[in-house]
Copies of this chain bind each other. A is one copy, B any other.
Amino acid sequence: MPYYRHHVFFCVNRRQDGRACCANQHSQEMRDYAKERIKTLGLAGKGGVRVNNAGCMDRCEEGPVMVIYPEGTWYTYVDKEDIDEIIEQHLQRGLSVERLKMKE
């Protein structure tokens, strides 16, 4: 059994050279929102869901990005409604949110 059933990483990197980056698209705010929602829903912790900040995952132009392991599903998102949908569909029900999945 994996230590975390779902381990979620949000890129919160801020590039200093003016190029596209996730931090410019309120990724920290969305990560904080996700972490709080997951805690409120009782999903957080060992055997459950862990939400982490991460550095640049090198997909900035497609961002803001998050990845969920061990399944390796990459999502982009715009607002809290998108985050809610990922939480409800993917993290609670185990289904992918096709409209938010990133292309390989």
CB within 8 Å of B: which residues of A? 1-3, 7, 9, 46, 50, 52-59, 67, 69-72, 74, 104
Are A72 and B9 within 8 A (Cβ)?
A: no
Are A55 and B52 within 8 A (Cβ)?
A: yes
Closest to A74 in B: B3
Are B52 and A2 within 8 A (Cβ)?
A: no
What B residues does A70 contact at CB under 8 A? 69-72
24 pairs, CB–CB < 8 Å, chain A vs chain B: A1-B104, A2-B72, A3-B67, A3-B104, A7-B67, A7-B69, A7-B72, A9-B9, A9-B52, A9-B54, A46-B58, A50-B58, A52-B54, A52-B55, A52-B56, A52-B57, A53-B54, A53-B55, A54-B54, A69-B70, A69-B72, A70-B70, A70-B71, A70-B72
Give bound CA distance, A3 to B103, whole Å.
Answer: 10
Give bound CA distance, A3 to B76, whole Å.
Answer: 14
Are B57 and A55 within 8 A (Cβ)?
A: no
